[in-house]
Structure formats: structure tokens, C-alpha cells
Amino acid sequence: MSDLVRLEAHGDVGLIVIDHPPVNALSAAVRAGLVACIDKLGADPALRCGVLACDGRTFVAGADIREFNNPVPPAGSTQAVTTNAVCAAIDASQKPIVAALFGTTLGGGLEVALSCHGRVIEAQGKVGLPEVKIGLLPGAGGTQRLPRLVGPLAALDMITTGRHVPASEALSLGIVGEIATDLRPAAMSAARALADAGTWPRLRDEPTPAVDRAAFDAAVTAVGKRARGAIAPVRAAEAVSWSLDAPFDDALARESEAFQALRAGPQSRALRHIFAADRAAAKAPTDEPPLPIATAGVIGGGTMGSGIAISLADSGLSVTLVEVGDDAVRAAEARVRAVYDRQLASGRLTEAGHAARLARVTFSTEMAALAQADLVIEAIIENIDAKQDVFRRLSAITRADAILASNTSYLDIDLLADVVVHPERVLGLHFFSPAHVMKLLEIVRPARLAPAVLATALALAKRIGKQPVVSGICDGFIGNRIFSTWRKQCDFALEDGALPHEIDRALESWGMAMGPYAVADLAGLDIGWAQRKRLAPTRNLAARYVPIADWIAEQGRFGQKTGAGYYLHRDGKREIDPAITALVERASAERGITRQPVPAERIQSRVLAAMANEGARILEEGVAARPSDIDVVLVHGYGFPAWRGGPMQAADEAGLDTVLATVKEMHAQSGPGWEPSKLLETLVAEKRSFASLNG
């Protein structure tokens, strides 16, 4: 038996315990240990039944994902013991086994639990089959056992979304038979009851409950539409459908084949890459412990500031939001209350939760109200003079050890630190709008930042449910710098012959959540216009510049907020506007360009090349620590398809030699600013990938 799995006798119950910190992952050694313990349970005449349990803070939270990158192990080796083999051993057991679930029971952990003859869960426990989130489907019977237990429609929802199901819902669905306060004794009682009865259910032998086939087929079709190019949810839906028609063993074999095909494919590689990249980005590059944060302040109660306040309050922090006057305070309070009222109306908050969260946010017109705050986040207009004024005042008011942060999207944080006593406590916390919803948080690291402050920012990101990425200082940091670069290629395509809706359609069909012009209208064209005017004195006049966005903004067309931008916006829908077509054609004529259709493939390849080339420059400058950090930013903040793994991973998949050739074409056509990065050229010359730099 493995040292990671042990069998304990508790009277007539055999307790099989997994002890594999931190999350009891189903590694090869754990799988082999489980099979050995199940065999030992069966061979011991003093034991009538078994309970499968875990030490630590959770039941099995899934597979050891690192093993998915390994070659298939030789038959007969310890590594060759699969999760299917564990489930088959439980199926073959002549004694009932009950699973004692707590923490997060996910993926292979839930598949093993489903093969058990009963399941008991603690009240705070959650279960799920999240394999689609790493480009896979459940590969150890999950697509077959779960439909037999909860019905095909409920199983289809769980498996194709990968969502975590709380204990109360797991009980109502029938995934578990009991919610227990004293978990192991309850599981032992359930196991003894099965042994006393002399019979116990095996899901593999149960029929799948009847379902309205038309409703099921419609739900499968809906999965395909939502997938937006992701393969795993579609394959998972197909696998669930097999539970309606195919014998269990035949469906299990087909499920295993589908799992292995996905595992070897580029989408799962990309999603596993992002899974690892998220964790690498969140790891503090210092051993300094984080500082305690209990109270926070937010300056500015607009859309961003109120969203930041909500994020902080949701995590249990006491928040003081400061605005310039009574009217602005009332508007900020209304924004915060509106969010919590919607959550109450939708059932996401109880009455008690609604009241508690509102009580955590107080409002003031006096900056002095922030005197004792542990953390203050400035979220005012994107103007360096205005922000410096705020930081000077904060420096005089706050405690010397209070962390001072700016939510700037572009500006130099060092210039804010310059006006503060103890500048080592100043950093950037770049939230994305809406701040209480969007997952990404760019942590901008100025030159004098104290390691403990950086550690605190990373800990805060985890507390408020954000995915952090540490960035150095440059205009736009990681995300906006890359976004502004690839947007230029889209603007060039406009002048060359495309229209905004054609470019949006090309990139959305490639998997991006929204095209750039739809995004611009959503965010507001006035924001980018102000940024371009700020940078105008530094612009290289020899570089190609497309004036279309400026012309649109000059007309007061700022997007959805004004009802017109690149599109007309009516009744929540965007419409193609002939006036914009005329502006685009005017730009082509003024540059002397004969307009020709621009293929979607050219738009897609140039956007990727622009991202990868600018990402390489960011790495050269030390703004990003590793290529995978860039991928995390673009996936979580800019709608890049996760199943492509981010631009640096996607460039590796496309081949860096191909990407470099595209960059050279762009440089030849568009001139200054499009030179190939030295790093990209070096990697191609050395036949290496961006992944080789991740460490």
C-alpha cells in the first residue's frame, strides 16, 4: 500500500484514509494505495463495510494535473493504475463503501465518490466535475454515473459548466444522502446500515432516468452555442447523451477514448497552461508575510470606485468611500445599493447578507475619515496632477504604515510615490470594470515598493477573489499596452478595406469574447480619446496613424453611453451605421488606399502576432516576469479565449517562426513601431518557445 493511503479498523468498519496534502489529489501513488486498501478491506473478515475519507482540509479535490503532461505509463506499473481502476475496484467490492465528503470534492474525487455505494457530506462541502475548465471531460465514469443518479439534464448542466454544487443542492439532487455535522461517524452509520440491509446500489447497474429527449437535445445544442469554439463542453455533452442509449461498459470505453483525445489536444494543453499560470502569477516573489488589512478606504465613487468598494466589502472588510460633495456621495451610495439590491432580488444574497454588506460601506465627504485605514485605493479621473494632489493629501492624513494604491490604467506609479512620505507603501491596483465582477487585478510594482506591501497586495487579491498579476511600470502596464498595440492592427485593417463589424466578427469567431469595436463602444470612446491626446506629444510622426477613432469621438459619439460610437445602439442592440462606413472609406481615400476585402484569417494572424511581439518586448523590459503572466492578463481581463491559453501560448502553438514572419510583413507594410522584438528573433533562431521562459 502507498504511504499516502491507509486502512484503519474501527470495529466492523474499515476506514480508508487518504493523506496527501494539500488537496489529496488523485496521484498515481494515491490511486495504487486506494486499490490496495479496497482489496485489504475485502479480505478482512472482521470488517463488514468501509468508509472512504481524507485527512486535511478537503476530500479529493481532483487529479494531479501535472500527470496529464506525462507520457502514458507502461502497463503493470504503479503509475498505470487509473482512476477508472479505482472505481472498478469499488464496483467489485463485496462490502459496501460510503464516501465522507468535505471541502471540495471535485473531478476524479467525485467520480470515485460516485462509484461508492453511498455519500455523506458536511454542510460547507461542495462537489463538482470541473474537467471542462481544463479542456477535458470526466474520464472515470462521471459522464455515465452522474446522469444515472441525478438525471441527464442536471448532469449535463453540472458537467458542461464545471460549476461547484453546494451541499444543500447536492442533497436535493440526490448526489449525497445526508448532510452531517459529525462526518465520519455519520458515514460509518450509513455504511453499517447498508451492510445490515445486505444490498447496496451500484450506479453502473442503474438505468438513466427518463427524460424529454427534445428538451435534452435542445440543451445539448445550447451547450454548443455557449462554447464559442471550446471543444470540451461539446464532447462532454455528447458523452452524457451516451448514458441514454449505450450500455454502461460501452459508454465508459467511449468516454475514456474521448478523454484521451482531449488530453492530447491543443485546447487542453492551453487550459492546463492557464491553470498553472494563474497559480504562478499569484505566488508572492518574497518571503515577507503580508500586513494585516481590516479597514479600507476608496477615494472616488464612480463606476470603478463603487465597484472596488463592493469588492472589498464582499470580502468582509470595513470600507469608507470618500467623494467630493453630498450629491456625489448620494450617487455613490446609490450605485453600491443598486448592486446589492439586484443580488438580493436574484437570490444571491439573503436579507441578512444584504444588510451586512451595506453596513460595511460608509460614505464621507472628508478625506480625514481615512486617517486610520489600513489601505486606501484612489479611483478618480485618469489625470496625473489630480492623482498627485490626492496622494499628497493622503500622505499627510494616513498612518505611516497605511498602504496607498492607485487604480490608474496607464499612469506612472513612481510619480505618485514621489509625493508621499514613505513611498515604499505606494503601488498600483488596477481593477477592471466592473470591479466587483471582473477577475483580473494588475498589481503595479514601482521601484521603491516594500516586499511586504507586495505580499499584502497578493494576499488581498486572493481574499477578494481576484486573479493577480504583478506588472512593472510602463504606459498601460501589461494589458492595456498589448491591447493598444493589437488594436492598431485592427485600425489598419479598417483603412485597408474592412469594416468594424467584420473585424469584430473575425475575432469573435476566433474565440474572443467581444470584438475590439464592440468593446470600445461598451467602455466609452472618450477614454481612449483622452489617452491618445495625452500621448500625442510623444507620438512618432513617421508611424502609421489611423484617425478614425478620433473623428468618431470628435462628433460626441462615445459608444453606448451616447447611443452611438462605432455602432448605433438602440434597445440594447448594436446596429451597423452607414455614417461610420463613410468615415472609414474617407480615411482610406485620404491615405490613398484602394480598399480590398480583408480575410478573417489575416486579421486573426496579425492580431496574434502583434500581441506576441509586444509581449516579447514587455518581457525584454522586465515589465512582466514570465510569458505566462501575460497570458493570464489577456485571458482574465481582455476576453482572450482561455482555450487558446493566452497570446504567448497561442503563438507557441502557431509556431514562433510563423509569428515572426507575420511580424516582418507587418513591419514592411506599416513601418516604425512594428519592428520584430529581439527576444522573438532570438527564440526563433534558437528554436525555443515562450514556454521555455516560464521556468
Q: Domain coordinates of the chain in residue numbers?
A: 5-264, 295-471, 479-693
Q: What is the mean pLDDT of the chain?
A: 95
Q: Is 108 a catalytic residue?
A: yes
301 — pLDDT class (breaks 50, 70, 90): very high
If we measure between CA atoms, which residue out of 129, 127, 137, 114 comes closest to residue 203? 114
Whether the per-residue pLDDT at 68 is higher than 90: the answer is no
> For strand 426-431 and strand 440-444, is the pairing parallel, antiparallel, or unpaired?
antiparallel
Q: Is 620 a catalytic residue?
A: no
Marked catalytic residue, from 25, 32, 53, 63: 63
Whether the per-residue pLDDT at 510 is higher than 90: the answer is yes
Tell me what pLDDT residue 70 has.
74
Q: Distance between alpha carbon 215 and the CA centroid of its chain, in Å?
A: 30
Place of cell 471543444: 231
CA distances from 475 to 478, 484, 532, 542 (A): 9, 10, 12, 20
Tell me what pLDDT residue 80 has.
76
Whether the per-residue pLDDT at 454 is higher than 70: the answer is yes
Tell me what pLDDT residue 74 has.
62
Q: Is 651 a catalytic residue?
A: no
CA distance 410 to 399: 27
- Going through 11-122 in order, the beta strands assigned E by DSSP cover 13-18, 49-54, 97-101, 104-106, 118-122
Tell me what pLDDT residue 624 has.
98
> Is it true that 295-471 and 479-693 share their CATH fold?
no
| DSSP-assigned beta bridge partners for residue 17 | 6, 53
Which whole number is the average pLDDT over 641-666? 98
Lowest mean pLDDT, pick from 211-225, 532-546, 637-651: 532-546
CA distance 151 to 175: 11
Whether the per-residue pLDDT at 351 is higher than 80: the answer is yes
Tell me what pLDDT residue 77 has.
58
Tell me what pLDDT residue 1 has.
47
State which fold the 479-693 domain adopts.
Answer: N-(1-d-carboxylethyl)-l-norvaline Dehydrogenase; domain 2 (1.10.1040)
If we measure between CA atoms, which residue out of 86, 68, 209 comes closest to residue 131? 68
Which whole number is the average pLDDT over 135-148? 97
Marked catalytic residue, from 14, 99, 111, 305: 111
Residues 475 and 576: beta-carbon distance below 8 Å? no
Which whole number is the average pLDDT over 441-451? 97
Tens-digit pLDDT profile for residues 175-219: 999 999 999 999 999 999 999 999 999 999 999 999 999 999 999
Q: The C-alpha cell of 594 is what? A: 484602394
Whether the per-residue pLDDT at 148 is higher than 70: the answer is yes
348 — pLDDT class (breaks 50, 70, 90): very high
Tens-digit pLDDT profile for residues 666-690: 999 999 999 999 999 999 999 999 9
Tell me what pLDDT residue 538 has.
87
Q: Residues 6 or more apart from 403 whose CB is under 8 A from it? A: 291, 293, 374, 375, 376, 425, 427, 453, 456, 457
Which whole number is the average pLDDT over 493-509? 97
Tens-digit pLDDT profile for residues 587-616: 999 999 999 999 999 999 999 999 999 999
Tell me what pLDDT residue 75 has.
57
Share of the chain above pLDDT 70, in %: 98
Marked catalytic residue, from 122, 131, 378, 495: 131
CA distance 267 to 422: 47
Tens-digit pLDDT profile for residues 574-588: 999 999 999 999 999
Q: Distance between alpha carbon 374 and the CA centroid of its chain, in Å?
A: 28
Which whole number is the average pLDDT over 359-386? 96
Q: To which CATH superfamily is domain 295-471 assigned?
A: NAD(P)-binding Rossmann-like Domain (3.40.50.720)
Tell me what pLDDT residue 679 has.
98
Whether the per-residue pLDDT at 506 is higher than 80: the answer is yes
> Phi and psi dihedrals of 684, rounded to 5?
-65, -45
Q: The C-alpha cell of 312 is what? A: 472589498
Q: Where are the alpha helices (DSSP H) in 97-231?
A: 108-115, 142-150, 152-161, 167-173, 183-197, 213-227
CA distance 357 to 327: 22
Share of the chain above pLDDT 90, in %: 92
Marked catalytic residue, from 14, 50, 62, 108: 108
Q: Which CATH architecture has domain 5-264?
A: Alpha-Beta Complex (3.90)
288 — pLDDT class (breaks 50, 70, 90): very high
Tens-digit pLDDT profile for residues 399-435: 999 999 999 999 999 999 999 999 999 999 999 989 9
Tens-digit pLDDT profile for residues 83-92: 999 999 999 9
Q: Is 585 a catalytic residue?
A: no
Tell me what pLDDT residue 531 has.
81
